[in-house]
Amino acid sequence: MIPPELLLQGYRLGVFPMAMDDGTIEWFSPDPRAILPLDDFHVPHALRRVLRKKVFEIKIDNRFSKVIEACAAREDTWINREITESYTRLHELGYAHSVEAWSKNKLVGGLYGVAIGGAFFGESMFHHITDASKIALVALVEHLRAKKFALLDTQWLTPHLQQFGGIEISRNHYLRLLQRAVELPLKF
C-alpha cells in the first residue's frame, strides 16, 4: 500500500500514481495538465434531458469500495490491488470520495477522487447504464461549486471530458492553481 502521507503529498505537488502492467507504481505529472473549469462546466443538451427525467439517484461516499472496484474492472486499467487499498485507506481518512449514480437501488455508475483543501483530483469513473457516470460528474461539479472548490483536476484530456468544457493548461499554470486551491480551508 502507498502510505497515505505520500499520496497526499504527491497530490499537493501535482503528481499522482498509476499501476503499470508489471504491477509497479509510477508517478505522473502531465504537461499539459487537464482540468474541468468549474465556472465554465458545460452540460451537453442531450444530458440535460436525462437530468430532467431524474432517472438516477445521486449518493456521495455510500459505496466507495464498490465504485473503485467497478472502475478497476476493465480490461485496460491502471488500478491494481495496491492502488485500490491505498485509495480505500484515503477514503477511511476522509480524503478520497465517491459520487455514485443509482437506479432501482443498484449502483450503475460513478466516480472517485481525492479532495485536499479546495482541489478535487478526479481519478476514474465507470458506468453500467448509459449516462450514469456523466450524471455523477455533473453531481460532482454541483457539489464542488456549492462547497466553493477552486480546482477540478482530470489529469489528461479525453474527448469525453472535452464535451464538458475540459481544457489543457501548462504544468506551471496548473501548479500555481494547485498551490492556491490546496491551501483553501474547505471540506468535501
CB 116 within 8 A of CB 147: no
Residue 47 has pLDDT above 90, yes or no: no
* Amino acid code (one letter) for 14: G
Q: Which amino acid is located at 46 in the chain?
A: A
**Dist CA 32 CA 180 (whole Å):** 19
Query: What is the per-residue pLDDT for 167?
Result: 96
| CA count, 13 A, side-chain hemisphere, 132 | 24
pLDDT of residue 101: 96
Q: Range with the lowest mean pLDDT among 6-15, 49-58, 121-130?
A: 49-58
User: To which residue does cell 481544457 refer?
Assistant: 167
Tell whether the model's pLDDT for residue 138 goes beyond 90.
yes
pLDDT of residue 45: 82
pLDDT in tens, 114-128: 999 999 999 999 999
Dist CA 56 CA 11 (whole Å): 31
Higher pLDDT, 22 or 120: 120
pLDDT class of 133 with cuts at 50, 70, 90? very high
